[in-house]
Structure 1
Amino acid sequence: MSTNPTRLRALALYKELHRLGRDYPDPSYNFNGRMRKLFEKNRHLTDKDEIEKALKLGEFIKNETLALYSLRKYRHLKRMYPPTSLTEL
Structure 2
Amino acid sequence: MANPLRAEVVRLYKNLLYLGREYPKGGEYFRARLRAAFSKNRCVQEPEKIRELISRGEFVARELEALYYLRKYRAMKKRYYEE
TM-score (norm 1): 0.83
Using the alignment, how far apart are the partners of 1:71 and 1:29 within structure 2? Answer: 22
Listed as ranges, the gaps of 5+ residues in structure 2 are: none
Q: Which range moved further: 60-69 or 74-83?
A: 74-83
Letter paired with 2:12: L
Asked if 1:52 corresponds to 2:40, the answer is no
Listed as ranges, the gaps of 5+ residues in structure 1 are: 84-88
- How many residues end up aligned between the 2 structures? 83
Equivalence for 1:5 = 4
Q: Which structure has the larger Rg?
A: 1
User: Percent of aligned positions with the same letter in both sequences?
Assistant: 41
Equivalence for 2:41 = 42
Using the alignment, how far apart are the partners of 1:37 and 1:46 within structure 2? Answer: 18
TM-align CA RMSD: 2.0
Using the alignment, how far apart are the partners of 1:25 and 1:4 within structure 2? Answer: 34
For residues 1-89 of structure 1, what are the structure 2 equivalents within 5 Å?
4-27=3-26, 30-83=29-82, 89=83
Q: Which has the higher contact order (CA 8 A, sep 6+)?
A: 2
Which deviations, in whole Å up to 9, do the C-alpha atoms of 1:36-65 show, x marking residues without a partner? 111101110011111011101100000000
TM-score (norm 2): 0.89
